[in-house]
A and B are shown apart, each in its own frame.
Chain A
Amino acid sequence: MTGKLHSAPQCEIDPLRDGANDEGAPIILHPLVVLNVSDHYTRFAAIRLFPRISSRRSSTDVEKGIIPFAEDGKETRVLGILLGTQRGRMVEVCHSFELPARVTHEGRTEIEEAFMVRRIEQYQQIFAKYIVVGWYFIGDKITPEDKRLHAEVFTRLNEAPLLLVMNPTSKLSGSQVKLRAKGGAGPIVEPMKAPSQSAGLLTTYQMELKVMADKPTMTLAPVPHRYASEDSERIAVDHVMRHAVPGGGDGASSTTLHLNNLKRSINMLESRIKVIVAFLEATARGEIELNHSLLRQIGGVCARLPALDCAEFSAAFAEEKHDSMVVAYLSGVTKSICSLNEVVDMFNRFSDRATPVGGSRRRGPFPRQ
């Protein structure tokens, strides 16, 4: 008995921990935030991409802050606030919103603070548990100006703000991404061949105290992040991942959808296992040096299998199975009652037509008691 229990996992394994480098990373990003930032960028990019239309803008638009987004981010900047929760070192980024920001001639970024304060209040009315955890911007590197903003503006909102930098140009030059950029029309790129890390496209930074030349200085250091999502979020993300193509609806039944999802996940798992096997084989042949920490991790994963091999689980699983069968049975019974009812109905109607109107009108061949 004890031996059985021993093989059960000690604690819940977080499935989204992926790869050694972000094991237990304290920064958790929700897909919504990533897509929200992307949406912010796309809207600005759309204004830039369609100069023919946007050139009709009057100068009053410019005063209102509607300035075409320039490639180097000179006129207006794509930046905003990250909202989420914070517990100790763990930061969970759940939501974001954009800020109006302009760059003056001296290169200073000016943020409309009244707007920022009001918007934060508005969000707290709805999501009472969210606080400001940091900020984001679109760009390819952190400039001294960004450091100033980080220290002067955002440190007032959170004593250790997080910075998320998205660099949409970094990956768009890759040929694989080109194929995908056709909006799903091109061949689907094998996920393993795509850039395995989103580093470069998305980077998170936090303040770090470093001693440089005997002086303590604050620098922005990259910190690893991982992804997590709620169930409804996962389903919605899955949904857009699969169905969001121009003009595409979902015709497939929910069972097909469900099984396909599962199949894709299993394929992914298989491809990962193949990588591990290839690595182990190469190590065994002596082609690569022994990497003890990696081997230890692989050993750890293997030791967890079979995942749940205890009497309690089999009992619970059998019970679950029986429940499902009962549900299926009930549904079958209901269906047969329905069909039977229809048959009785037809018989009654038929005999009704056969018998002339009279006292027996209400009695068919199957009278009810």
Chain B
Amino acid sequence: MNSVDARRAFEIENDITQTTAQDDIRYFYDDQEQARLRERKPWSQDPNWFKDVHISAVALIKMAMHARSGGSIEIMGSMQGKVADRAFIVMDVFPLPVEGTETRVSAGQAASEFLVTYSTECNQVARRENIIGWYHSHPGYGCWLSGIDVQTQSSHQQYEDPFLAIVIDPVRTISAGKVDLGAFRTYPLQYKPPAEGMNEYQTIPLNKIEDFGVHCNSYYPLEVSYFKSTLDATLLDLLWNKYWARALSTSPLVQSKDYVVQQLTDISNKLKETEKQMEKGNPHGRGGYYLSDKKTLAGKGGGHLDQISKDAQKCCSEHVQSIMSMYIKNAMFSPSHMQN
């Protein structure tokens, strides 16, 4: 047993409040420290100042559920929290009453009033965290900022910094079995981001790809992590005793059927589009180059076909993953069908 283990064992045996205190300190809101930070404004100097986002358990669950409740309609809400060095800490979120459509969401007069009343009244229940951002959903088309989102976010960053944007995709959350979420901050208008490789590749439907491509260099993603309190950990442990059956009794295959069809349609549309462009890129009607020529597609990071093939692989791996669990369950609960 090395010294670290020994110390941990000692802590476990003797002083639980100590560890509790250490773990839960981020639940304490130190307004003076926050005021100091807001006065110093280190983020105004460096457009890349913020690197991390820590999201509390309640905030994550609330966002995921709210996004799901909207179905195919975009929803929107506000986040309360604080900043710590180069990180945002999201303590809680609350939804806003907004009229969203399938492609955009924006806060109207009523929502702004709601936001102001709600956040002011939070003081009465010892919630002194400020509004530090907004979240909205992109049902089925991935986590990135559209042109309108970039506008909204950059105006917030101009007047209410520190401010953070979170995008959550409820449809992909269900189909992948894990929360699909991204946190972003925009760059100032005149700022030219260093030309670095695109971040993690994600599937974007054909009708959105233009919007994505035009704006994808005006913001950057932040590293997201999650935290919970010690009491949360205890409760979650107890909950798991009641909960395990759920993983066995749900099938992502059945739930995300529509989404799979949507994905396949999208892939076939993209293939058609690529074909069309190939024809176009071939004025003589015979011989010539495919569009995946790196020169024609400079800056796109691989050819169209390459991207389409990645989309197809992702769709396939999710599907195979679901059928795998179906097989396991079938093997467990109806052994007579194993000969198939």
Contacts and interface: CB of A to CB of B under 8 A. Distances in A.
B57 A264 contact: no
Nearest to B334: A306
B128 interface: yes
Given A177-B234, A265-B247, A230 B68 contact: yes
Given A194-B238, A324-B319, A368-B287, A43 B27 contact: yes
Interface in A92-131: 98-100, 112, 115, 118-119, 122, 125-127
A259 B324 contact: yes
B26 to A, nearest CB: 8
Contacts of B287: 362-364, 367-368
Contact of B19 (A183, A198, A309, A349): A183
Contacts of A246: 23, 227
B245 A16 contact: yes
Contacts of B229: 38-39, 42
B242 A235 contact: no
A218 interface: no
Contacts of B199: none
A41 B231 contact: yes
B89 to A, nearest CB: 11
Contacts of A99: 125
B191 interface: no
Contacts of A249: 223-225
Given A118-B121, A317-B330, A240 B236 contact: yes
B58 A368 contact: no
Kindly state the interface size class of chain B when it binds its partner: 35 or more
Contacts of B286: 363, 367-369
Interface string A187-200: 00101001110100
B318 interface: yes
Contacts of B332: 266
Interface in B285-309: 286-290, 292-293, 303, 305-306, 308-309
Interface string A345-369: 1001100000000000011100111
Contact of B118 (A43, A49, A122, A345): A122
A209 interface: no
Contacts of A38: 229, 231-232, 235
A195 to B, nearest CB: 7
Q: Classify chain A's interface size.
A: 35 or more
Given A43-B27, A65-B124, A338-B308, A227 B333 contact: no
Select the residue from B233, B253, B289 with max chain A CB neighbours within 10 A.
B233
Interface string B69-110: 100000000000000000000001001110000000000000
B309 A338 contact: yes
Nearest to A271: B244
Interface string A231-268: 11111111111011111111000110111011011101
Contacts of A53: 28, 30
Interface stretch (A153-161, A280-288, A329-337): A329-337
A8 to B, nearest CB: 11
Interface stretch (B34-42, B143-151, B176-184): B176-184
A334 B58 contact: no
A183 B233 contact: yes
A254 B321 contact: yes
A118 B117 CA distance: 9
A239 B123 contact: no
Interface in B204-241: 223-241
16 contacts: A15-B249, A47-B28, A126-B96, A194-B238, A231-B250, A232-B64, A232-B68, A243-B226, A258-B325, A262-B247, A306-B334, A309-B336, A318-B340, A327-B319, A368-B286, A368-B288
Interface of A: 15-16, 18, 31-32, 34-36, 38-39, 41-47, 49-50, 53-54, 56, 64-66, 76, 98-100, 112, 115, 118-119, 122, 125-127, 168, 171-172, 177-186, 189, 191, 194-196, 198, 201-202, 226-227, 229-241, 243-250, 254-255, 257-259, 261-262, 264-266, 268-269, 305-309, 313-314, 317-318, 320-321, 324, 327-328, 330-332, 334-335, 337-338, 341-342, 344-345, 348-349, 362-364, 367-369
Given A31-B61, A264-B244, A317-B330, 10 more contacts: A35-B236, A39-B27, A47-B126, A56-B32, A65-B123, A127-B69, A172-B16, A183-B230, A324-B322, A338-B306
